[in-house]
Amino acid sequence: MADKKIAAALIGLIAFGSALRIYSTIKSAVPATDALNNWISVIIGVALIPVIYLFAVKLTENQHASLFSAALATTIPLFIWKTVAQLTHTVALFLFLMTLLSLIYIKELKDWKIAIILPIIFAFVHVYAIIILPIILFYFAFVKLEQKEFNKDETMFSLASIMGIGAIVLFFTLTPARLLILQQYVSSNYYSFSTQTFTLTKAFTFAGLIPVYLGAFGTYLGLKEKKKSALLMIAAGVTLLIAMSLNLIPLYLALPYFVPILAALASYFYKALDKQIDTMRIKSYKTAIELLAFAIVLAAGVVHFLSL
């Protein structure tokens, strides 16, 4: 019965996210020439909601906390707001998260070769696939610092990803002709993005206060738990934060990658809140409090979504 309720709640969040994104797309009066790309972006953006849920399940092993992360993901406007203009950005975001998800669930996959296609496709789709390399290096460093071990599939998937992405970017993307085309494309389509520098004010404005605050607190709790899945997500967050701070990736193009990481890590906040309520006199009102928390997150998310 509990599993059915969780599934129903997740479906409800997906439906809510779908309605919100469809409304936003219709309201934006998308030109007919861009309609197909925009609607495909909507579909992929909605698909990220259960992906964030799966991240949180692995992080906390708590279904309610995982639903909380999915609720945060439901109203993050960056899934569409900055990726809808070009379908490749939405696809790249999805492949980025799926690559990390595959690494987290590598034991369950049984064979790492099944998932290696994801980073390979990612490298062909977008040059931002290169960000996977420092993420894996940070992850290996964090795991070694915590004196944990890697299994064979995890090591092989990581090494194959590094070599595959590196080779594709080096031989197919970083050629003089491709770089010239990329420079012209950025100048004509993303000039306003590339000239933006990183500031906390801008990050809070476009990412939203709730995902940033709860994600930051969740990162702290994740460091305390020292789980390998948490270390991978933190490695991703650190890498993206450095890239934004140094303006290696324009802020408005990096945030769609960064905010889902925060949303997943925010599951630790909800898990801690859930445990704390159990120790208080108000625990008899636990269900009502949890529903109120979800309502606040969704309402605040919708207001932020529609204000951009």
What residue spans define the domains of the chain?
A: 2-307
First to last CA, the chain: 39
- Burial class from Cβ neighbours inside 10 Å (0-12, 13-18, 19+) for residue 2 reads exposed
Please say whether the beta carbons of 274 and 65 come within 8 A. Answer: yes
- Model confidence at 186: pLDDT above 60: no
Question: Whose CA is closest to 139, among 100, 111, 169?
Answer: 100
58-73: per-residue pLDDT in tens?
999 999 999 999 998 8
- Please indicate whether residue 207 or residue 51 has the higher confidence score (pLDDT): 51
144-153: per-residue pLDDT in tens?
998 888 888 8
pTM value > 0.95 = no
Question: Whose CA is closest to 214, among 94, 150, 289, 300?
Answer: 300
30-40: per-residue pLDDT in tens?
666 666 777 77
Q: Which residues contact 269 (CB under 8 A, 6 or more apart)?
A: 68, 214, 217, 218, 221
- Please indicate whether residue 45 or residue 47 has the higher confidence score (pLDDT): 47
Q: Which residues contact 232 (CB under 8 A, 6 or more apart)?
A: 100, 103, 104, 135, 139
- Model confidence at 237: pLDDT above 50: yes
As a whole number, the mean pLDDT across the chain is: 81
